[in-house]
Amino acid sequence: MTETTRRRSDLPLAHWIGLGTFLALIAILALTTFWPNPVEDASKTAILGIKLVPLLIFVPGLLRGRNITYIWACFMMMIYFVPLSVSSYLYGWPLTSVIPTVLTLVFFVATLFKLRQDPRNPGTSTT
């Protein structure tokens, strides 16, 4: 099969799990900006931008299933994993930091399986 005829249905299950957890992480990070303890006297737009813009950069490449995007997204995910895991430990394992921590781990593992199952995937065609 050539690169130009590749379809989304050809992507492995690990791609869909990774994409789902990545989008769920974006949703959870957006939700925790407003609930349960919003930061007082701070711009919600600025906080959302700081939290989400680094992740939103990767969405187009992840939707296409590009391996290089998955690799770079894992590097970016480390920036989120470290403070989330430390926060989980220090504050008694609250769900607002445990769930995103688990999502980052699931994304990382799904990426490893996706790269192993689909080693030479440059991405799907745009059609």
Q: For 77-88, how does the pLDDT look when each residue is reduced to its tens digit (9 = 90+)?
A: 999 999 999 999
CA 88/CA 17 separation, integer angstroms: 23
Does the pLDDT of residue 127 top 70, yes or no?
Answer: no
Q: How many CB atoms lie within 10 A of CB 126?
A: 6
Contact present, 90 and 80 (Cβ < 8 Å) = no
CA 18/CA 55 separation, integer angstroms: 13
CA 50/CA 113 separation, integer angstroms: 29
Q: What is the pLDDT of residue 9?
A: 74
4: nearest Cα among 64, 61, 68: 64
Does the pLDDT of residue 5 top 80, yes or no?
Answer: no
Q: What is the pLDDT of residue 125?
A: 64
Q: What is the mean pLDDT of residues 39-62?
A: 90
Indicate the pLDDT class of residue 1, thresholds 50, 70 and 90: very low
25: nearest Cα among 124, 108, 116, 113: 108
CA atoms within 13 A on the CB side of 50: 6
Q: Is 9 helix (H, G, I), strand (E, B) or coil?
A: helix
